[in-house]
Amino acid sequence: METCDSPGGARSETQGGADLNIIDAAELVDGGLESLADFREHEQVLHCRHEASGLSAFIGVHSTELGPSLGGCRMWPYDSEIEALTDVLRLSMAMSFKHAVADNPRGGGKAVIIGDPKTDKSPELLRAFGRFVDSLGGAYITAEDVGTAVEDMHIIREATPHIAGLPVEDGGSGDPSPVTAYGVFCAIQAAVSHTRGNPYNPRAPLADITVALQGLGHVGWCLAGHLHEARAKLIVSDIDDAKAARACEEFGATSVGIGEVFDVEADVFAPCALGGVLNKDTVARLRTPIIAGGANNQLADEEMARMLQVQGILYAPDYVANAGGIINISYEGPDYSLDKALRHAERIGKTLIEIFHVAEREGMTTAAVADRMAMERLGAG
């Protein structure tokens, strides 16, 4: 691969005549990245365009204090580049905190591709993205996320070795969703045990618990399976009516509309779709004493954590509850063990119990306690 300087600080990388136009994302924002509320001292934020494949993507590296940054690649039809940039900033910082709290020797990074994964994704686009990842020289390691799958990682690997979450036959750990879902299940167990004053037990029955589950993607579906096995009652909501109907058939769930899930009476609300679902409107409508789910960036803003606290709703910070995926990836290698990854994921519940106790003792929100814990570990790193 050849690299050359371009006007305006851009870098043009070529391979087989296919150009990548890579620039500092600050060039897209009036006043620079520091003017954005979600900047939070990122180490590196880049934007890449590849005209031939239609690629438009961002990579955000928030921190490499604990090791090379590792985070998934999300593909989504964002309305604008600024919306995509804001998402990558929030997601990459959350990855730094997630790795730190989960005791993973990795830094925080994330990538987003602008486009509809159902219609815009192609092998050419994925390979171009792989070359974009490769241009960072290992500072960022990519993996799957919303809109990308293990099969896509196989194609991206053709252009870069800096990739995780590969299929098992390729020496990876496969789909991380089952371990993510198990970690969220442990988070629910921890929250339920805390509110009832019982010891944390990830194998406790939940026969008298009702969970309102939003989103039946890979993680949401696996979580529904764990909850059903624990005999919890399920209320489900998904934009795909067929998935909701299947959950009713297989898990005995009750289905509600996507706008109704915030109004149902339940013991736990488990958001497992996209982020930002907890805002002033939805939080005011909630009729659940616990929130524990697999979605990233569940809070629309920091004020929501305080609003939940005032309403007496116990919130399991999202990046703590959904750390099972990156825990699974951290065990990749010739000695990969799913059982070891699952046992590590069970520690999510113990971490949350600690967070819950500190929050009560010091009058802090659980989100603030988790952030402080993460920053202390990043500082130690």
pLDDT tens digits along 231-286: 999 999 999 999 999 999 999 999 999 999 999 999 999 999 988 999 999 999 99
The CATH number of the domain holding residue 376 is: 3.40.50.720
* Residues 280, 321 share a domain: yes
Q: What is the pLDDT of residues 106-134, one digit of tens each?
A: 999 999 999 999 999 999 999 999 999 99
Q: What pLDDT is recorded for position 9?
A: 42
**Do residues 153 and 223 share a domain?**
no
Q: Which of 179, 177, 175, 201 is nearest to 188 (CA)?
A: 201
- Percentage of the residues of the chain whose pLDDT score is greater than 90: 77
Which of these ranges, 3-12, 35-44, 217-226, 238-247, has the smallest mean pLDDT? 3-12
Q: Is residue 171 part of a domain?
A: no
d(CA 237, CA 165) in angstroms, rounded, equals: 28
Q: Which of 166, 199, 216 is the last residue of a domain?
A: 166
Distances (CA, A) of 163 to 73, 160, 197, 355: 10, 7, 42, 32
Looking at every residue in the chain, the average pLDDT score rounds to 91
pLDDT tens, residue by residue, 125-177: 999 999 999 999 999 999 988 899 888 998 999 999 999 988 777 878 878 89
In a shared domain, residues 151 and 181: no
* Mean pLDDT score, 304-323: 97
Average of per-residue pLDDT across 287-305: 94
Where is the domain boundary, 123, 139, 166? Answer: 166
Give residue 11's pLDDT: 52
Last residue of some domain: 166, 188, 206? 166
Catalytic residues: 110
DSSP for 32-85, please give it.
-GGGSTT-TT-SEEEEEEETTTTEEEEEEEEE-SSSSEEEEEEEE--SSHHHHH
The pTM (predicted TM-score) of the whole model is 0.81
- At residue 271, the 3 state secondary structure works out as strand
| Backbone φ, ψ for residue 255 (5° rounding) | -100, 140
Instruction: Quickly tell me which residue has 């730190």 as its tokens.
Output: 100
From the list 333, 334, 320, the residue with the least C-alpha distance to 369 is 320
Does 172 fall in a domain? no
Query: pLDDT band at 79, cuts 50/70/90?
Result: very high
Same domain, 64 and 190: no
Check if the beta carbon of residue 321 is closer than 8 Å to that of residue 179: no
Domain check: are 131 and 240 in the same one? no
Measured in Å, how far apart are the chain's first and last C-alpha atoms? 34
Where would I find the H helices in 157-279? 177-196, 218-229, 241-251
**Statement to judge: residues 128 and 46 lie in one domain:** yes
Q: Are residues 311 and 273 located together in one domain of the fold?
A: yes
Domain with 94 in it: 2-166
Domains in the chain: how many in total? 2
Q: What is the tens place of the pLDDT at every residue in 182-214?
A: 999 999 999 999 999 999 999 999 999 999 999
* Same-domain pairing of 207 and 242: yes
Give the integer Cα–Cα distance in Å for 302 and 343: 31
Determine the average pLDDT of the residues in 8-24: 62
Q: Nearest-CA neighbor of 345 among 326, 367, 358?
A: 326
pLDDT at 145: 87
- Burial class (CB within 10 angstroms; exposed 0-12, middle 13-18, buried 19+) of 150: buried
Query: How confident is the model at residue 338, as a pLDDT?
Result: 92
CATH code, 24: 3.40.50.10860
Would residue 124 count as lying in a domain? yes
Residues 240 and 369 in one domain: yes
Bigger pLDDT: 311 vs 14: 311
Q: How far apart are CA 77 and CA 184, in angstroms?
A: 27
Contact of 68 with 106, CB cutoff 8 Å: yes
- Percent of all residues in the chain with a pLDDT value above 70, rounded to a whole number: 94
pLDDT recorded at residue 381:
57
The answer to whether residues 68 and 121 belong to one domain is yes
